[in-house]
Structure 1
């Protein structure tokens, strides 16, 4: 067998084995892997590289080494799930770096973290003053997670005591110009509805790169031809405007009538429409 053919076959076999091991055991980004996991993956990569070009080495030897490392990784993963002490030994525990707004210098020294390193990691979290941090912990993976002080956290509807509509995951119904029927059915829609919506905005299916339907049934999409102008959807804004118009008409009727019973009825209906408007408005905003 020619050397180049053997090198190619060895490389292919190593790639397949690494792919299988990665799919089975590695389910997180490389930056979030523990030191042990990174060492195992690096060792496997080196074994594959050396075993692919060292033709004097029998192929069974690198395969055996990969199998041993794979079994070792599986065993460590299994024991880590069942035993906290074992998991802490291999993955490490989180170490507080900032607590109650104060930097813990002793913990920084133990983790060999410098002041520049701390400030750099805080900036990566969009925090430029350590005084804005209530609590920070250095995870076993080396990532610094922080909790900012209450007055530095973003304002949310919960803080303002405002009700917001629930959000559901949008369904991708077109991808690369092809209709995805399963997500479309999940939203209770069909191909005829989708075609009609595209026609309303002067778009052809073949020209649609990706399209999604949100929780309100609103269709948004991106075209291959970025220069093409699309018609803006008007259904939700029009619904909001109609509700507001009905409320205004009811108030006008209440002012125009001389019948007290009718006036009270119009005013009551106007208040109900106002409540409906306030309830519906969050759903009509894009």
Structure 2
């Protein structure tokens, strides 16, 4: 067999083997690496290079070595799930670098972390002052986890005592100008509905690069032509406005009527509608 053909075949075989083993090892191997995963990745890469280009040894030897490394890695992963002591030895433990807004210089030296590196990592977490940080931990993966002091944390609905509904998963119903039936069916919608919505904004399917439907049935469209502007969905806003007008009309009727029974009925209806509107506010008053 010609040498060039042997190299091509070896390379293709190694690619297939590495893809298979990488899938077997899972997503951790391509995320932030621990010490052991870092060593495993380098070693498997070197062995793959030998399997591809080294013609002085049988091609199965590096493949066998890769298999052993993968088996050991899977065994270690199993042990890591079972023992915290082994996790601490293999993966290491997080190191506190900032506590109560105070930088722990001894821990910085221990991790050979400079002040510039710390400030850079803090800026990556949108913390531009070390004094604003309540707690910062250098994880075993090398990632810096940052907790801002309460007064510097973003304002959330929970802090305001508001209950916000879970956002349903949006469905991509058009991609590259083609309708995708499965996501459309998942959203409980039909092609007829989709065509009707596109007609409302004057857009043809073939001109749509991407279209998504949110959990509330609103269609968001992105066109191939970036110069064209598509009207923003307004169904929820219109419904909210109509319901608010109904509540206001009921209150007005209550003030206008001279009949005590009718007045009481209108006032009760307005109160009930306003109570429901407060519950629906997170769903409808979104734009």
CA distance in 1, matches of 2:164, 2:147: 25
Asked if the contact 1:212/1:221 (under 8 Å) is kept, the reply is yes
Give the alignment's TM-score, normalised by structure 1. 0.93
CA distance in 2, matches of 1:282, 1:23: 41
Moved more, 271-280 or 242-251: 271-280
2:230 equivalent in structure 1: 230
What does 1:10-49 correspond to in 2, within 5 Å? Answer: 10-28=10-28, 30=30, 32-49=32-49
Asked if the contact 2:253/2:263 (under 8 Å) is kept, the reply is yes
1:100 equivalent in structure 2: 100
Give the alignment's TM-score, normalised by structure 2. 0.92
2:144 equivalent in structure 1: 144
Asked if the contact 2:211/2:219 (under 8 Å) is kept, the reply is yes
Unaligned runs of 5+ in 2: none
Q: What's the CA shift string for 1:202-253, capped at 9, x where partnerless?
A: 2222222222211111111212222333344332222112112212222222
Q: What's the CA shift string for 1:128-175, capped at 9, x where partnerless?
A: 111111111111111110111111101111111123232122122222
1:114 equivalent in structure 2: 114
Asked if the contact 1:47/1:65 (under 8 Å) is kept, the reply is yes
CA distance in 1, matches of 2:145, 2:91: 16
Asked if the contact 2:250/2:266 (under 8 Å) is kept, the reply is yes
1:220 equivalent in structure 2: 220
1:276 equivalent in structure 2: 276
1:80 equivalent in structure 2: 80
CA distance in 1, matches of 2:233, 2:98: 49
CA distance in 2, matches of 1:231, 1:161: 33
Shift of 1:29: 6.6
Q: Which runs of 4+ in 1 moved over 6 A?
A: none
Asked if the contact 1:200/1:231 (under 8 Å) is kept, the reply is no
CA distance in 2, matches of 1:231, 1:94: 49
CA distance in 2, matches of 1:71, 1:22: 12
Shift of 1:105: 2.0
1:127 equivalent in structure 2: 127
Aligned length: 286
Q: What's the CA shift string for 1:174-203, capped at 9, x where partnerless?
A: 222233323222222222222222222222
CA distance in 2, matches of 1:230, 1:99: 49
